[in-house]
């Protein structure tokens, strides 16, 4: 009886090893799709789809890309790039892998949706307010409609305008950072003006349109209306400057 038990345990052990080994080698890994810079992009952006498969023991995969349930393969690269992306590239994407020179295959990935919209516009706001006294803090907040991923921001002053175009001067201390806020800890005379912002991302850089204008003015900068108009005569065609001067003349 003891020998029978030993034999049974021995056979059971090797059956378990056999099934675990078979399961290990027959289990199919699942492909995974990622999109950079974002799943929601804009016409003209550069967009890259990437297929990753975590399959142990496989050194090289042959990739297959599908769109919107179509059985046709449109790419066999691990990464597929649209540059520039258009509205026709929007849709649901899947990928799949087969071992090069082998028999293993992956499961098809879950669908990842790429959305393509028209060129975005930056939106500029002022916090806490546009009217300031010298020494007050102020922030110019720049945002991109419908998207918040991967943007860097720049801020400008409106230096001149005509009926057909505006002219912008980049702020020399504009951080061009990932954060969408240009902060002034202590407002000074030089900060009175009309501002816009813009965002960009990707390589080559894809830029939004310029934002709406936002005037900022600091009380105490001018004692007389004529002083204000003289200092800002290069902006005399910009309505916001005239409003600033008229408001100061009433103080």
**pLDDT per residue over 185-239, tens digit each?**
999 988 999 999 999 887 778 888 899 999 999 986 454 445 555 554 544 444 4
Cα separation, 84 vs 116, in Å, equals 11
Q: Which of 76-85, 105-114, 117-126 has the lowest average pLDDT? A: 117-126
Preceding peptide of 37 cis, ω within 30°:
yes
Rounded Cα distance between 248 and 46, Å, is 47
Query: How does strand 214-219 pair with strand 131-133?
Result: parallel
Q: How far apart are the first and last CA of the chain?
A: 109
| Sign of the CA dihedral with 49 first, then 55, 60, and 64 last | negative
Looking at residue 23, its pLDDT comes to: 44
Of residues 151 and 248, more confidence is placed in: 151
Calculate the dihedral angle through the C-alpha atoms of 182, 186, 191, 195, rounding to the nearest 10 degrees. Answer: 20
Q: Which two tokens stand for residue 31?
A: 């492909």
Output the pLDDT for position 118: 87
Confidence of residue 156 (pLDDT cuts 50, 70, 90): very high
Residue 101 has pLDDT above 60, yes or no: yes
Cα separations (Å) of 2 from 5, 8, 13, 16, 78? 5, 10, 17, 21, 57
- Token readout for 62 is 């042959």
Domains with residue ranges and CATH for the chain: 2-117 (2.60.40.10), 122-249 (2.60.40.10)
Q: What's residue 216's pLDDT?
A: 96
pLDDT of residue 102: 86
More confident call, 8 vs 165: 165
| Model pLDDT, residue 28 | 87
pLDDT band at 11 (very low <50, low <70, confident <90, very high): low
Q: Residue 103: its pLDDT value, please?
A: 86
């Amino acid at each position: 009886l003891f020998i029978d038990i030993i034999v049974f345990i021995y056979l059971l052990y090797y059956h378990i090893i056999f099934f675990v080994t078979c399961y290990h080698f027959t289990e199919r890994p699942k492909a995974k799709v990622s999109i950079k810079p974002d799943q929601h992009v804009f016409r003209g952006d550069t967009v890259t789809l990437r297929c990753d498969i975590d399959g142990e023991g496989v050194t090289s995969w042959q990739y297959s890309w599908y769109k919107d349930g179509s059985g046709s393969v449109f790419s066999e690269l691990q990464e597929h790039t649209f540059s520039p992306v258009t509205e026709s590239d929007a849709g649901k994407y899947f990928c799949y892998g087969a071992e090069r020179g082998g028999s293993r295959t992956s499961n098809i990935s879950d669908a990842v949706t790429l959305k393509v919209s028209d060129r975005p516009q930056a939106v500029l706001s002022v916090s806490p307010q546009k009217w300031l006294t010298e020494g007050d803090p102020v922030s110019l907040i720049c945002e991109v409609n419908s998207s918040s991923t991967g943007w860097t921001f720049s801020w400008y002053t409106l230096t001149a305008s005509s009926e057909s175009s505006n002219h912008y001067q980049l702020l020399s201390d504009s951080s061009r950072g990932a954060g969408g806020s240009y902060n002034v800890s202590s407002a000074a005379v030089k900060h009175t003006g009309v501002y816009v912002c813009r965002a960009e991302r990707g390589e080559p850089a894809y830029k939004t349109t310029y934002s709406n204008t936002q005037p900022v003015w600091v009380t105490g900068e001018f004692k007389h209306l004529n002083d204000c108009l003289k200092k800002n005569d290069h902006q005399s065609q910009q309505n916001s400057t005239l409003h600033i001067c008229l408001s100061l003349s009433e103080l």
